[in-house]
Structure 1
Amino acid sequence: MLSLTPYENPMYFGMLAVAFIPIVVGILWGKRFRWYELLVSIGFILLSFGGPKWEQGVALVGFLIFEVILVSLYNVYRKKKNDTWVFVIAVLLAISPLVVVKLTPLMSGTPSIIGFLGISYLTFKAVQTVMEIRDGVLKDYNPWFFLQFMAFFPSISSGPIDRYRRFRKDYESVPDREKYLNMLEKALHYVFLGFVYKFMLAYLFGTILLPKVQHLAVQSTGLSWGLVGVMYVYSFYLFFDFAGYSLFAVATSYFMGIETPMNFNQPFKSKNIKEFWNRWHMTLSFWFRDYVYMRLVFFFMKHKIFKNPKTTANITYVLNMLLMGFWHGEKWYYIVYGLIHGVALVINDWWLNLKKKNPDRFPHNKFTEYLAIFITFNFVCFTFLVFSGFLDTLWFH
């Protein structure tokens, strides 16, 4: 069976174009051919997880069945009771496959057999659904629709991470012709921009330039221009590669009449680190904000763990970003990356509060704005150098 990684092969885009013709025509005439959309989704999932990747396909099916049963059982329970311990068990069970996948290489040195491309993002969608059921904001949970939400193929492998209620609102309605034509225009723009990002700029920085500057860095000792080159080249490669992929996923969703949220919003223009996380990998950042940071803050305040609200916020910043670091992997550089950003968010809040209390001491003009962007950009690039793992290769191998 043919197997193609999503958005990596011209053939994949050609097959998408052909498959989408009935969907586009139907929506333009005010109809959704839901069974056809389902068949297209199944077809592209098989295309992504079939053939040589059949083991990942089996793991994906098993994971989806497990999560649908788990969330459905919790929904039935939540209608009658709301014990915290049951909620905690449901969340732990929801993330248990991901924990196994992340820890297996550390324990045994080999990848887990239940791992597949996209397990992290599907786990986030399952956990957020459990939490929204617990909060009582999701009252119309439907197991069949939850499965469709989880297995929405444009974003199944690497996001963006959508929300159940937002997705359902789009899926159960048909955009009027004017709105859909505007969505198609945006989709085509995102496709072409994605090609520039992923197949031209990411190729330039990742395939052509990165090996060269890495070689220069290895030839030198300590801090060198080669290492500085790795820092900037890798940062641009990481952005253009992931942003290009995200543009493809959003564009594909738009063709299907689903306004999947954007993942990037010119992050290198950020004036501080908090603004950066409001622009970089936004659906992941907002997920950690809503389902980790805010809930930890609420828990600490409710149980009066810390007397000072600022202390609560600062410690939660660090814990939240550390968890994000661990999510990327168990390597030291992922954990240090998360720790650095957690501490940076603490310092950022302190600095913004200081400026707010003493506005006359800190001038605000175009120069200071550009200076803030320059500092933030270089700080982010340095943390991406840590995140890349190149320092581990350079120093310890």
Structure 2
Amino acid sequence: MSGLLQFLPNWQPYGTPKYFGILILALLPIIIALFFRRRLQIYESFVSIAFITLMFGGSKYQQFFALVFYLVWQTLIVFAYQTYRQKADNKWVFYISILVALLPLIIVKVTPAVLGVDSLLGFLGISYLTFRSVAMIMELRDGELKTVTFWSFFRFMIFMPTISSGPIDRFRRFNEDYLTPPSREDYLAMIEKAVWSIMLGAFYKFIMAHLFGEVLLPQFKHIALHAGGIFNWQTLLVMYAYGLYLFFDFAGYSLFAIGISYLMGIKTPVNFNKPFIARDLKDFWNRWHMSLSFWFRDFVFMRLVYVMMKHKIFKNRNTTSSVAYLLNMTIMGFWHGVTWYYVAYGIFHGVGLIINDWWVRRKKTINKTRKKNGQPLLPDNKWTHALGILITFNVVMVSLLLFSGFLDQLWFHHFPK
């Protein structure tokens, strides 16, 4: 088996025009069937498995075995908890189930920091599969998810378009789409959106991301590292180039995933919604990597707030939400990786959201006082809106510079001149 996998090519998802050409040919039977409101369930699973296998071919063959082990692990946990939940509801069983489901991801994230090598359990997409399975356990506990069959779980976990980097879908939404093929009119509209998403994704990823990431960013890094010091003006060039590269690269990938999902009759949620016109940080996180942001909001932030309020850890609701913001974003930072700059990135946004909420409350108080005294309210017009966008954009860019790890290289790693 390992010999066959090493013989296969290693295809990066959405990496080349050839990949798209072969993928579209493979999807043609699915597209034709959906035009007549039919699903080719076995064939769809075969296509997903085939392209996932090719994703782990060649030098990445060990990741295929890690994926198989991971799927078996998560299947046992989810169905064991489902069986238990139908009879009882002990919170510690729930907590242990979540921890065990997270264990492979924790090992993968911690191993490089502790041992300096990648874990053998790691594979491309482990984070996004973990989000899927952990959300299912939480929804089973909440009673929002009643029953999960093996095949519905399996096809949700191996859904090829989004397996490597999202967007993060929810089981109930996905399963409803899968079990209810769209009408012909709806499917034609989905095809139209799919074509637009793939074309826009190609512009983002192959032109704009290439320009900022491959052409400009290496040059800017080179001159900034040569300039040296704690900070230099050349680092600003790195900051903006990296921030724009990250957006166009990831947004482009997400558009590809959404487009292919729509061709397969699944309305995968949007991941980016013009994030650089956000007026404040809260608005930014409602626009940037939305499926991740909403996942953390629903399954981490809201639960932290609920637990802290239930146990009356803080008397003030604002203190509770502030602590929850900080913990939520710090956890998100750790999820990206156990390095100081990822964790600092999370803390940066946690503090930013706390300041954001403080200002919203402060503004309401000021306006209430001014209104009571017969004074005009604080200005809220297109100019203040534009100022908010400008400030937010630059604050986000500073955070993405931190996220990039470039400051770690500038500050702590010698660069010969």
TM-score range, shorter chain: over 0.9
User: Which of 298, 301, 308 does residue 300 from structure 1 map onto?
Assistant: 308
User: Which of 301, 313, 334 does residue 342 from structure 2 map onto?
Assistant: 334
Match of 1:122 in 2: 129
User: Which of 10, 22, 46 does residue 15 from structure 1 map onto?
Assistant: 22
Contact preservation (8 Å) 1:215, 1:226? no
Match of 1:289 in 2: 297
Q: In the TM superposition, what are the counterparts of 1:271-286 in structure 2 within 5 Å?
A: 271-286=279-294
Structure 2 counterpart of 1:312, one-letter code: T
* TM-superposed deviation, 1:361: 4.2
User: Which of 204, 226, 232 does residue 240 from structure 2 map onto?
Assistant: 232
What is the RMSD computed on CA atoms of the aligned residues?
0.9
What is the alpha-carbon distance in structure 2 between the residues aligned to residue 239 and residue 193 of structure 1? 13
* TM-superposed deviation, 1:142: 1.4
What is the alpha-carbon distance in structure 2 between the residues aligned to residue 221 and residue 61 of structure 1? 46
Contact preservation (8 Å) 1:355, 1:361? no
Unaligned runs of 5+ in 2: 1-7, 368-375
Give the TM-score normalised by structure 2: 0.94
Equivalenced residue count is 397
Match of 2:257 in 1: 249
Answering whether residue 384 of structure 2 is matched by residue 368 of structure 1, we say yes
Bigger mean CA offset, 259-268 vs 36-45? 36-45
Q: In the TM superposition, what are the counterparts of 1:83-102 in structure 2 within 5 Å?
A: 83-102=90-109
Match of 2:156 in 1: 149
* TM-superposed deviation, 1:3: 1.9
Q: In the TM superposition, what are the counterparts of 1:61-140 in structure 2 within 5 Å?
A: 61-140=68-147
Q: In the TM superposition, what are the counterparts of 1:22-37 in structure 2 within 5 Å?
A: 22-37=29-44
* TM-superposed deviation, 1:216: 1.8
Match of 2:62 in 1: 55
Match of 1:193 in 2: 200
- Divergent runs of 4+, >3 A: none
What is the alpha-carbon distance in structure 1 between the residues aligned to residue 250 and residue 59 of structure 2? 24
Structure 2 counterpart of 1:101, one-letter code: V
* TM-superposed deviation, 1:47: 1.1
Structure 1 counterpart of 2:312, one-letter code: K
Answering whether residue 235 of structure 2 is matched by residue 219 of structure 1, we say no
Match of 1:160 in 2: 167
Structure 1 counterpart of 2:316, one-letter code: N
Answering whether residue 386 of structure 2 is matched by residue 378 of structure 1, we say no
Contact preservation (8 Å) 1:29, 1:177? yes
Give the TM-score normalised by structure 1: 0.99
What is the alpha-carbon distance in structure 2 between the residues aligned to residue 294 and residue 37 of structure 1? 36
Answering whether residue 400 of structure 2 is matched by residue 393 of structure 1, we say no
Structure 2 counterpart of 1:226, one-letter code: Q
Structure 1 counterpart of 2:285, one-letter code: W
* TM-superposed deviation, 1:355: 1.7
What is the alpha-carbon distance in structure 2 between the residues aligned to residue 110 and residue 140 of structure 1? 39
Q: In the TM superposition, what are the counterparts of 1:164-179 in structure 2 within 5 Å?
A: 164-179=171-186
* TM-superposed deviation, 1:221: 3.6
Unaligned runs of 5+ in 1: none
Which string of whole-angstrom CA distances, capped at 9 and with x for unpartnered residues, describes residues 142-176 of structure 1? 12211111111100000000000000000001100
